[in-house]
Structure 1
Amino acid sequence: MCGCCGTGGCTRCSLHTSKLEKMPSIPEEPEQVETEAERFTMPDFLRPLQDLDVVEGKEAVLECQVAGLPYPTIAWFHNGARLRSADDRRMTQFKDVHRLVFVAITHAHAGVYKSVIANKVGKATCYAHLYVTDVVPTPPDGPPTVAAVTGKAITLTWNKPRWLDSAIDPATVTYTIQQQVVGTSHWTVFATGVRDTAYTVHALTKGALYLFRVITATPKASSKPSPPAGPVQLLDRGPYLEETPVILDKPDMVFLVEGQPATITVTLNHVEATVIWRRGEVVLGEQDGAYELSMPDDDQHSLRIFRAGRADAGELACEVRNPHGADTCSIALELAEAPRFESIMEDIDVGIGETPRFAVVVEGKPLPDIMWFKDEVRLEESAHVSFVYDDSECSLVLLGATPEDAGVYTCTARNPAGLISCKAELVVRPAQPKAEVAASEDKARRLTDYYDVHEEIGRGAFSYLRRVTEKSSMLEYAAKFIPGRAKAKASARRELHILSRLDHERVVYFHDAFEKKNALIIVMELCAEEELLDRMARKIAVSESEVRSYMRQVLEGLRYLHQCGILHLDIKPDNLLMADPSSEQVRICDFGNAQELTAGEPQYCAYGTPEFVGPEIVSQSPVSPVTDVWPVGVITYLCLTGISPFVGENDRTTLMNIRNYNVAFEERGFRGLTREAKGFVIKVLVSDRLRPDAEQTLEHPWFKTLAKGKTIPTDHLRLFISRRRWQRSQISYKCHMVLRPISELLADACDRLSVAVPRHSAEPAALSSSSDSDDPEELPCLPAPHPTAAEAAGSRVSLDEIPTDDEAAPMDWQGAGVEEAGKRPRGARARKRSTEPEEPGAPAQSCQG
């Protein structure tokens, strides 16, 4: 304390001091100074939400910028209900900016949105309206065009809108036709829901002038009208003449497409007349859903058949009559036949300056119209390109080939009953000396010298298949064309060498071979155009004993191959064909991936179909004869349960399931199967160290039992077949995709469903001559089919966790023996489709090679 006194008085002051002891800080729980509360701030919106007006289908973003200490939390509300992240929306934060994002806005998203931010001091709120408007289409491009005018109707055509918003589904677009009588100001809607860009307007008044315009419409909005067309009026030919009716024009032949409408029209002189249509003694009059009589013009009379059928084919009589006389005519009605190729064009390899010629023989009723394309661009006749037509033979001739002419050529044949097409490739190489060319052509055997070449019957990843007839014997065979050069050709020769060594009733047999400059052609047995699973799927259900019989045949074929020192390495349902439509015999085909066993050297396989490759292929370990047994177990599992055991959402998932031995398990699929069947798949789908070979597998108790077993519905098989056909169509010959190695599939982390990537100029590492039953060009356009829910999303278990009634009898692998039979006589090579019944105990046949 301090005091001071003077003449004026005294004053005092004091000072209190103390020492503040600072405690050491604790990192986990830092001590807050009491005055820190004074630094807390209320949450606030630096930039609040703004109202949005968004077109349906577009992205919408509600955004706000916030501040506050401690940093506030945020909650979003829509019409009072709190929002969480979902498939159609997500909530994001970047520093102090928060966003509510809608990927594709719909009318359900419209309304009032509220953002609430809060911390320990308080909270703040802001609001915004989200308005959703419909996408308005653009009008047709330009005014409609008057395409035809008669005394009864006016036909209009118009262009589609030049641009459509991406949110509009083109399939939902329709058109509205409006008309206006010149001299009035009122537009009348004449037709709505028109899907084509052409329309014929009836019920007009003669003498009146009309304007027409078109509006683009969607289910939710309409465009502005197009500019009008016109004025236009109906033709006025004056009053009818008082004279005898005469039929001036009529068709001699009308082709009917079964199930489709057909119209027959006759033209008279300018008179009034009654028209009667007859088929035999039956008069065809107005009948709902069957026939309709009309007058498309003042002097034309038509009969419309709503749904033509075989009963409508034949001669149709038309009689026209009035008080001055009558006239009659007859018209032939015949069912149209879709185009078909009797002979299709082949790949051509020419030198610069040579004249290549693509030729097809096409039939159909009526004769089809032919169009030629190069790399999907339609060709027109010119000084360089010539079209030659001789009855049913049609040719494309290129005069003086240049390198720019190289590419894929397509011939398309169309008539009212349908459309087909075929493709061939032109390779243009540098010119060779004439003497060299002549010498090589003299040495080469030509397929067409010995065989008549017919239509394409299948297509694989690197090849295509045609039906051929041997000229000397008139027997039919399948000719497999494997185009390629250098590395690809060497692989094809390996396939030919392997196939030529084989002679067994379970293996498709080799007959002949030809080699061209740019292709290898293998002529072999013509099996039924039906795969094993197709045969099973044609039935409503199959028994376990039928599956057992088919698998026994496959294993017998594999036993023979392994005895010959050959690994197939591509066993899958696509490569198991039925020998004959009336037989239950199975043939193993496609040796494009096959290898000859080399003693003492490890062998590897880089390619395969993910669902059916063994774990050793997935891990890129050496392959052996037991590698071919694994896919037999997979196919058996598929046939017995209807579920592909290892298939996943994409190729990588499938391969991981195989590597981990995780199968798609559904208890009801196994319920009712014999214990031997369950034991078989468990004993076969194991690591290659424990897996039996084909000969040992045939000794399993499942193949000893005579029980018919469970009846298995085939509906799941049909779904599997549909999915496989889609996959195969992606990698068929001349498609834009090419197979990828298993190692690349396993390393691919994307969700790709296909085993392929876009095809490029590099030669593939291996050839496959598998022939699919469907040309991809004839396949319906379908979205990629996914695995069934049971396959992809069902529970997965390890194989040893599959419950069995009780353990099947153990397999005596060491004691299993095989009974050798004598070699087949050489004459057996000339066998055709076998119709002998399959016998359970058929003896093995030794390799002829």
Structure 2
Amino acid sequence: MKTGFRMDKDVKKPKTHVSTFRFALNPQTRPLCVGRKEKEYGLDTTKMMVNNKLGVSPTTDARQTQVHALTSPHFKQPLQDCTVFEGSDATFRGVIAGSRPLGVSWLHNGEKVSSKNTSFKNGVAVLDLIRCSRENAGTYTCTAENTYGKQSSSAVLHITGKATKEVPRTQRQQRDEKDKVSTDIREINPRTKVSTSEGPPVEFLDPPEQVEARVGKQARLHCDFRSSSVPVACCWIYNRDKVVVGGQRVSVRSSKTQSSVEISQACADDTGSYTVIVRNRKGSAQHTVSLSVVDRPDPPASPPVVSKLSTQSLVLSWTGPSYDGGTAVLGYIVEVRQEGPDKPGSWTEVSSRCKNTSYHVRSGLKPQGQYLFRVRAYNSAGVSEPSQESDCVKMATAKEKKEEPKSYITVTVDTKNKVKDHYSVHEKLGVGKFGQVFRLCHIETGAVCAGKFYRARTSKEKMAAHKEIELMNFLHHPKLVQCLAAYDTRSEMVMVMEYIAGGELFERIVDDNFEHTEPTSARYMQQILEGMQYVHKQKIVHLDLKPENIVCVDTTGTQIKIIDFGLASKLEDGKPLMVMHGTPEFVAPEVINYEPVSLETDMWSIGVICYILLSGESPFQGDGDAETLALVTAARYEFDQESFEDISDQAKDFISSLLKKDRRCRLSCTEALAHPWMVSFTPLTRRPTKSLRKEKMKHFLAKRKWKKTGKAVLALQRMANLSNRPDSPGSSSEEPVWSQEAEEAIQSLDQQLQSEPCFQQALKDTTLPKGATAQLRCLVNGYPKPKVKWLQNEKPVSQSSRVTVEQREDGLCSLVLSDLKPSDAGVYVCRASNKMGQAMSSAKLKVET
């Protein structure tokens, strides 16, 4: 159309709906700013414009009367100042009366406001500001204009910080607060809105992650939170299983801003995770606090065992306590007592700073002297009782001759005798998926060994045990633990191995008295590679290389051995081997993807070990097993600048050459031993070295301890269950699994919030002139959200072009009637109802003619 105006798409008959056109006339008529709703007011605006322009007198019909009543705009309810938190929403509202058509515009600090944030409907002008920032602060002006004049109203928006600062309140709001309704009144103010709809229903404020308490003392778990609405309901769940309720020792307290659990006389059984669930009518949030009730540790589980005996020195080894007291064991105190023909001496300390489960006694011992030893463990809570005493030790009369290398033994499984026929069984050394390990002592020679007692109840378990024993007969090398004997009877199956007293390599490294440099790390890696080179030559793949399986031969030297071939397999040509086991941080991508493994699978694990050895950090460690596996399958890692600032580029290249996603691109053991990094640290090479920091290594070991090493070898099938799909390990939602009791408690929170409707602000009687706009407003609370119905003189009110009904989330209910007529007068009732009950509020509306 080329007539100077266009027709709206929803108009089918322009002749009968002239007011639905959008005009683009000359500047003299533009201030009219005609909209779609003019017909609602009974005005033929086209006719008005033409008649006024030509000077034609109005006709005498009903529309004439309304033309004579035309007035300039005025604000019946002006804008009001507004204060909101940064990031919250704000709304300015103004109720405008005056002759239609009305044009409305908005300014912010003198600049025009985008129309997408504004609306003008039934005499109510609205400006919505979403997620306010500091830039939104300032003065907002709403200007209403028609042919008879214009009027403006201004208000100021204040933005406060995101912290827990309180929103400033007016004196009236402070008075209302005393009546316990200020919060609701402030929320339902039609001209000022502080909305949290964009934020979380409940937000925890710096909640604690871990709480530690001493045995017998009070333990207090406390969480502050900010709720977007009241009331709130809270409950605490212990270990996702039991609901925490008040009792003799336990008290639970909650308010609208905090919830806490206090346990008097805490005991070890109180240790665990405590999850607080906070719910309001808009949603819920939860936070978990780990409680550790700490006590001094149990005594070391075994008496100290003597090795490396000489005239004036010896090496003691023992097993750590079966219970660490709920917090990490910090070290051990070694004590000695001299025996003799006279009365025995008193117990004295040999060392109070021993960090490992072995100690080299170098002084204070006399040739041919007789001594007893015992050990105490200590943590942050105190010192344990002493361990059992060692056997009486008599020092040598002359220096022991250096032991000649022992010949290797090819083991034949003994099916006639039991292990106890040849060995005495002592304390437990460890527990694993396979079974248990005990210290053994040969009855005839007194040699100390380790016995691996298999849990071989089924034929499948027995086959796995026989497989490991058979593989050990192929693994005769100084860098590999040796099998000395094996027993298979109806009641038990045992493999006897050499006893290695030096402890885990990584535990040794963090000792304050132990040197840790890049060259020493290279020498350790060289020994690992030499051992694995021999293993791979036998076409055997270890499949569980990790720090726990690299141990030191003794407490003084730097020689290491590789242990635990329980998951190892022999590769056969033409028979691809796929496995479903491994440790998430060290397993190779092909294992996770259930692809054939090869000798290069071990090389990936060696690369991870080297990365940790040099930096103290795990390259693929995620927040959970699912994230860790996702990082491994993507081969995604980086050399942290801080952790590797003292590490050479050759070392980083060595690691990168092993951590290749494509196993065919990884170095073999032979190639790795020839790598420039290995060659650069030969004994003939001399160059300055710098000690590496041990803090991160200590932190890494602390995390490993929490994971309970015995459970670290996981089935890949279980790993896959952490994901939504077996082929996408990174997609786990990790939703908490609650017990039935916990589920019922959580569901009951919603029931606690339920209430019948209640009017906190009632309707008010109103008298208005004919043609004005009436707004009936009330505030109703209740949960579930009440359904609202409006009545006029006991008859339902229907929405129309003049009548608008609105119910906001905050409970504000409004009925707006524009262009009032005498028939609009009467008694209006707002009826709110939910499943809990119903309530009503009424008011009288008078229309003056």
* Range of TM-score over shorter length: 0.3 to 0.5
What is the TM-score normalised by the length of structure 2?
A: 0.42
